[in-house]
Amino acid sequence: MMAVTCIHGVNMSTVVSVRIDDAMVDSIRKLGYKPGDYIVKILSAQLRLEQSKRSLLWFKKHRFKADGTTGADIIRQDRDSR
């Protein structure tokens, strides 16, 4: 199978079908959005939130050195040694 590369530098997209009721579509349109654009906006916001949560969890897990020393402790030691 041959890989396809876009020569124009444009991101490719995937079509995802979502079934929502008519009342929700009407509500989205009353807000001034096209339903597809609104769903993309919401999914992008949720994805950023999820990535932020994962980054924070990683930071909390890795913020201490193996001996329990924090970055603040290292900075304090460096500052006090002057």
- Give pLDDT tens digits for 20-79: 999 999 999 999 999 999 999 999 999 999 999 999 998 888 776 667 777 788 888 888
Residue 66 lies in a domain: yes
In one-letter notation, the amino acid at residue 66 is A
Residue 12 lies in a domain: no
In one-letter notation, the amino acid at residue 69 is T
Is the CB of residue 18 less than 8 Å from the CB of residue 3? no
Assign 7 to helix, strand or coil: coil
Count of domains observed in the chain: 1
d(CA 26, CA 32): 10
Structure tokens given for 76: 């304090």
Confidence of residue 6 (pLDDT cuts 50, 70, 90): low
Q: Look at residue 1 in the predicted model and tell me its pLDDT.
A: 47
Residue 73 lies in a domain: yes
Q: Domain range for residue 36? A: 22-80
d(CA 82, CA 80): 5
